[in-house]
Amino acid sequence: MGEGNEESGGGPAHGPWAWSAYRAYNELLREKIKKQFEAQEGPWMDQLAKLLVELVNARWEGGRKGERDEAEIAAKLDKLLSE
């Protein structure tokens, strides 16, 4: 026995520590990727989020005004998504 497996990251003495190191590495990489997306796509995603919130609110309002607003917002979404 004494041999570790891939899941534990090695032998019993360093397995949990190696697993923690891999996890920290992946978390750091995830944060770096998120920062890149924020820098490159953040303004576009802000517009998308705003329109999606407006769309949900228009659906909740209902009635003719809600339907008209929903159609206008959907057109704006289509335009934004085609950019």
Q: Is the dihedral of CA 37, 78, 74, 76 positive or negative?
A: positive
Distance, CA of 36 to CA of 39 (rounded, Å)? 5
Give the pLDDT confidence of 33-77 residue by residue, as tens digits: 999 999 999 999 999 999 999 988 888 877 666 678 888 999 999
What letter represents residue 43's amino acid?
A: P
| H-state helical runs in the chain | 15-61, 63-82
What is this structure's pTM?
A: 0.58
Give the pLDDT confidence of 62-74 residue by residue, as tens digits: 766 667 888 899 9
**Is residue 2's pLDDT more than 50?**
no
pLDDT top residue among 60 and 78: 78
